[in-house]
Structure 1
Amino acid sequence: MAGDKETLIGMGFDPARVEWALKSTGNRGLQPAMDHILENEGKPVPSLDSVTQTSGTSGSSGPGSMDVDEDEEDLEALRSQIDGAGAGPGPAGQEAKSLKCSQCGKTFRNTALANFHAGKSGHDQFEESTEEMKPLTEEEKKERLAELKEKMAEKRARKAVEEAAEQKANEAIKRKAGKDLNKIKEELQTKEVIKEAEQKRRDKIEDAKARAAVKAQIEADKRERAEKAAREKALREGKALPESSSAAPARPAPSTSAPSGVSGRDFKDTRLQVRMSTGGQPYTTTLPSDAPLREVAEFIAAQNLSVNVDTVTLAQHFPRKTFAPSDFSKSLRDLGLTPSAVLIATP
């Protein structure tokens, strides 16, 4: 633009460098052109035919990108440096020496500076003024230009410090987020370890109960066989029959047996050990207390191919009981098998 070119030349810049800057920045305003001139101050001016428009200079994105305080500093520096043309005839026939912003009261030497101020501040009300602004000497222009360069360097330095601080803050936020995520993972892992340890403890207790129940059952079987042999011997010898242990006061059932009272009905799960009448390794499983007895038969059939769910017979030695087919639809809780029991399966 002609106004920007005159303003820059009035600031003391070389006309050839002004034309180079305006063409390189696509005539986007005073600030981009000034940045281009300052950044390429030590470089030779190329032929304008070989100059192509760039997307902008590295220190600025145009007048509108600066803060308000920085804009005011630029305007003050430009106003004190530029010695341009007057504003034209003033009010009542007097010659206008300057333009004044009616909104902020600042005075500008020419229209280019007034437009520059309007673009940055958004002010759009100006009036002509007869106030004459003293022109600057060449030496004053150079001093003001040096001051402007120094201010621009300070702005860029501040901007670099702000960007570094912002980047550091962002990195701190990322590190904190990473630490929080790792802490959550560690807490979940700790809870999982505690849960597994608790499950192992419960399994160990249940295994101990099952082993105790099996041992009690074996002892009961031994006593029963011994009593039977003693009775048969007494009959053969014509002696009085020995007193049966069944006539003695009932022994308390082991704590591992499955009572039918209220305490047994409170258990959510039932742990079972199933022994095959044909011998072999017993099978152990845990089923919900509300599961039907048929699920026990299905479990055995899945473990032993010789077992048929519809024909298998389930019995309990202590207390002695053989479950009828109609019992298969009843729950383990209703059959008094909770919290644990030992069953004998006959294929």
Structure 2
Amino acid sequence: MMECTALESLIEMGFPQNRAEKALALTGNQGIEPAMDWLMEHENDPDLDDPYVPPQGHVPSTEEPPEGRTPEAVQGGTEPTLEELAEVDNRHTLSEEEKREQTKRMMELISQKQREREEREKRESIEREKQRRKQGQELSLIRQKLQEDEMKKLAEERRKEKMEEKLAKQRVREKIERDKAERAKKFGGGCSSSSQASNPPEPVAPTLVPSSPSQEPPVKREYDQCRIQVRLLDGTSLTQTFRAKEQLAAVRLYVELNRQDGGEEPFNLLTSFPRRVFTEEDMEKPLQELGLVPSAVLIVAKKGNS
């Protein structure tokens, strides 16, 4: 029968008997090619090697078609042609050469199916990478917008501080002028020139004037942002502003998304002076703790060449 020939061909190609029988049965015994397609699609099924069990209530027909007639001819109710009879005879009497040719064709079919699957998986991988890069770019734009808003807010705060400092200096100057006028009025009249000569005025203790903000000792300032410059492998550099409390991993992610030096392999970040190579543990630490605030220069180096 045709099914036996297909089963033998699949077994000769290296498929286990359970798989071959199951593939032929579940494809309706339509031949080797449908069975091959089914095997390629279900090669990762956990129960692929389990023996095939026909559905309950299904009794396969054991009735043989009349001699000289194909099953298709019996179902269709027509007499088989000479070509059909010859085809049936050829199916039952395949020579070794024909079996080898059939096996060769099936192996080529297997290779073609595998190439098609690899191409499909490659396209899907490329599409996933495109989606990942798109999401990374969107995330970068959102982060850049937040940083711009933070910079605007910081600039506005600095402008207000300068304005307050200017007003404070103005108030100090006005007070000095008032004190001068009061001293001139106090010592300018009420006594003759002779009495002033004989009794020189006692020295007046200088009026304490609050010092201007510029004269106050400098106060250590807490920075909430830092500017990072990253030198790439080809000599170019990237510059970006980060929050002082952001982790060093944010700088590494920024470099991965924006580097144009053609490097795809993993890399290390390091400083030249004092020389320090940042580890994976350092990636979880904030920039402020690593001493990179208010500004720093980092260098990209291939792993293993640090």
Normalised to the residue count of structure 1, the TM-score between the two structures is: 0.37
Q: Please identify the structure whose Cα radius of gyration is greater.
A: 1
Normalised to the residue count of structure 2, the TM-score between the two structures is: 0.41
